[in-house]
Amino acid sequence: MPDVIHLLPDHIANQIAAGEVIQRPASAVKELLENAIDAGATEIKLIVTDAGKNLVQVIDNGKGMSPTDARMAFERHATSKISTIEDLFHIRTMGFRGEALASIAAVAQVEVKTRRAEEEIGTYISIENSQVTTQEATACPAGTSISMKNVFFNVPARRNFLKSNTTELKNIIDEFTRVAMAFPEIHFNFSHNGQQVFYLEKGSQKQRIVQLLGNQYNAKLVPVQEETSYLTIRGFVGKPETARKTRGDQYLFANNRYIKSAYLNHAIAGAFADLIPKDSFPGYVLFLDLDPAEIDINVHPTKQEIKFTDEKIVYAFVQAAVKHALAQFSIAPSLDFSLDPEIQSLEAIQKPLTEEKKSQAAASSLYQSFTQKGQAHLIETNSYKPWKEMHKQDEEIRQSIHTNALHAHIGPPPAGEKEGTWKSELAKLKEQFLTPSEKTPHLDFEHEHRPISREQRFTWLSDTPLMQLHYSYIVAISNQGYMLVHQQYAHERVVYEQLQKAIFGKPIATQQSLFPLTFSLQQADAVMLNELLPEMKQLGYHIEPFGNNSFVVQGTPADVEVGNEQKAIEQLLDQYKHKRNACPA
């Protein structure tokens, strides 16, 4: 039998390795931006065409490369960051494994122009399918420009799995935001199809957050700053009113590297306990600075999942820092355990408790109620009731509700009419409404329930009156008793069915706005809203783009409260993102 194991050709091995690093154009954007930062750039320009499918270009003013380094940079595992195994535990740069450029060159057509500041002539290199086709001297500014064209041109199956341009552009914006957020001292310029998406000047951390997430965060950020011998925590958390239904505005960094950590997300959410609804998520931008030896960033190809040496310590520090920030700025309640001198000088505190005062306190009813009947384990002997007796009470309550409803139906005894006539009329109605019909199955609680349909179990008697309880519930008499309807949920169901009919049928009528509303969104949300504009028009919203991530609401559905348009649209986008993130990619 011949041998069957053999080595893969280099171009196939490169494409397999590239699949772990370059999953979509956004992956290449992340790697190229991080390389520019490692090169010491102070200005970085990102140019994207057709959501990165045709072109991703990153231009920086970093230190550049020599002709030999420019050629070696595209070899597999070629790096200037690691020389010994110990270097893996002292990494502070963004890239270090040397697989990014090799992976990009394996699945795209790449062009590089680079020049060091001390040299007069730069280097031009063209690579296709991991093979260098051209290398020559060229005139170019100091720094590096790398262009990735026609991604997955040699792997058509991979290219077919790319999403729509809107989705791929949103992924690129997400990666750009994560990188730009961590380096406010760098000037970034991002354009797509010739239109500027972001123009970020150098500034403070808060200014960069507002530039990326929107001006609405300017007055809603709480600073976090805690320093310990183990780690430093800095950044900002959003006030409780900024909580959203999705995790879109959560950014966590370790040594300026964006990371994903459900463990630390839980710590931060715990600090917001009782401040926001349980189905909402707080917004934050937090940076953890600690010794690189305390973390392992080489556990995932994208380097977004890391391991801490002691996760429990990091968890406790992060949660304590966020809690302290919220309490310090009067966002969360805090307890002051310092002793008030005025209270300490009171006579009741200064004088000792005598035996006479002890006996007076023990004789009081308040003291006896706590010492005799206040124990958690004490159960009154008469408090237990058998199940059948409790069921009997429930039946009496149900009969009382029916009787009150029937009284409302026939009204009180008319003046001058005999009370016996009124009672006989009431008895007839009770017999009609409260006696189970022979055609309807009777629910026997003492025996096994027979399977019956929802329609058989409850049939609303439409000619009977309705009752409202606590302005929240509607009580309606049915053939089996009564139905308790939650008004809010019932209203949401009616609106949902109306909107569903509008999507697949006749659009909802639009009420034109006398004074159109103009509002702005984050870049990623603006891209999403542009995609949803046709569906929004079916739902009665007439929205037009106004440039620079702004929109104008020219009309709204007739049943939307005036002045509530922006909030309704933002909540709709949150729900859309929440449902889309819940579905598998």
* DSSP structure string for 339-350: PPHHHHTSHHHH
- Rounded to whole angstroms, the Cα distance separating 185 from 188 reads 10
Rounded to whole angstroms, the Cα distance separating 139 from 113 reads 9
Does position 292 have pLDDT exceeding 70, yes or no?
Answer: yes
Domain layout of the chain by residue ranges: 10-201, 206-328, 387-483, 507-582
Question: What pLDDT, in 10s, does the model give residues 32-71?
Answer: 999 999 999 999 999 999 999 999 999 999 999 999 999 9
Question: In the chain, what is the greatest distance between 2 CA atoms, to the nearest angstrom?
Answer: 115
pTM for the model stands at 0.69
Q: Is the pLDDT of residue 110 over 90?
A: yes
Q: Residues of 453-482 as b/e, b for ≥16 C-beta within 10 angstroms?
A: eeeeebeeeeebeebeeeeeeebbbebbbb
At the fourth CATH level, the homologous superfamily of domain 10-201 is Histidine kinase-like ATPase, C-terminal domain (3.30.565.10)
507-582 maps to CATH 3.30.1370.100: yes
Q: What's the whole-number mean pLDDT along residues 64-86?
A: 84
Alpha helices in 22-79 (DSSP H): 25-38, 67-72
Which tens digit of pLDDT belongs to each residue from 186-200?
999 999 999 899 999
pLDDT at 521 over 80: yes
With residue 254 as reference, give the H or E element that holds it: strand 250-254
9 pLDDT exceeds 80? no
Confidence (pLDDT) at 187: 96
Judged against a pLDDT cut of 60, whether residue 498 lies above it is answered with yes
* Cβ–Cβ < 8 Å for 254, 306: yes
Q: How far apart are CA 82 and CA 92, in angstroms?
A: 11
pLDDT of residue 222: 92
**Distances, alpha carbon 74 to alpha carbons 78, 131, 401, 562, in Å:** 7, 10, 80, 58
- pLDDT of residue 201 exceeding 90, the answer is yes
Q: Does domain 206-328 have CATH number 3.30.230.10?
A: yes
Instruction: For residue range 120-177, list pLDDT tens digits in order.
Output: 999 999 999 888 999 999 999 999 999 999 998 888 888 888 888 888 998 999 999 9
* pLDDT attached to residue 387: 46
